[in-house]
Amino acid sequence: MSIRFLSEEWASAVMEAANADEEFTKAAVTANARIQQNITMDGGEPAHYWTIVDGGTIQLGVGDVENPDATITQSYDTAVALARREANPVTAFMMGKIKVDGNMNLLIGLAGALSKLADVMSRLDVEY
């Protein structure tokens, strides 16, 4: 059964799968970051979710996180393409499809862990 993208169930499934994924935990072992994701929706309310990476584990939830190190804003279509591994985050950023506020160097340092997180996300049965 598929889960709806950006729902509480999706957030729980991503978190559970990432924390069980050896490649993700290895890539994130030295990471420590609080990331806010803001997804703009065509004609609707924006969706927000947050990610906390701390020493090889991840927490993920729907809504806003306090004191984010970085905030990433993107369209729903861009978020879907990234989650499906159909788009490259660096290319999307360079094309202006992703906007970043906050600690860009931290995000660059998290590139390996975020790439493994995207791998985990792309393997889930998600309804977009």
Enumerate the β-bridge partners of residue 38.
48, 73
> Which CATH number is correct for 3-122, 3.10.20.30, 3.30.930.10, 3.30.1050.10, 3.90.100.10?
3.30.1050.10
Return the pLDDT at 5: 97
Q: Reduced to 3 states, what is the DSSP secondary structure of residue 61? A: strand
Q: Are strands 3-4 and 126-127 parallel, antiparallel or unpaired?
A: parallel
| Global pTM value | 0.92
In the block, tokens 């806003």 appear at: 64
Return the pLDDT at 46: 93
Measure Cα distances from 27 to 6, 60, 68, 97 in Å: 24, 17, 21, 25
**What is the Cα–Cα distance from 51 to 100, expressed in whole angstroms?**
15
Query: Could you tell me the residue ranges of all domains in the chain?
Result: 3-122
| Burial environment of residue 77 by CB neighbours within 10 A (0 to 12, 13 to 18, 19 or more) | middle
pLDDT digits (tens, 9 = 90+) for 36-64: 999 999 888 899 999 999 999 999 999 99
Return the pLDDT at 43: 81
Residues 47-74 as b or e (16 or more Cβ within 10 Å = b): bbbbbbbeeeebebebeebeebbbbbbb
Return the pLDDT at 42: 86
- Which residue stretches of the chain have pLDDT < 70? none
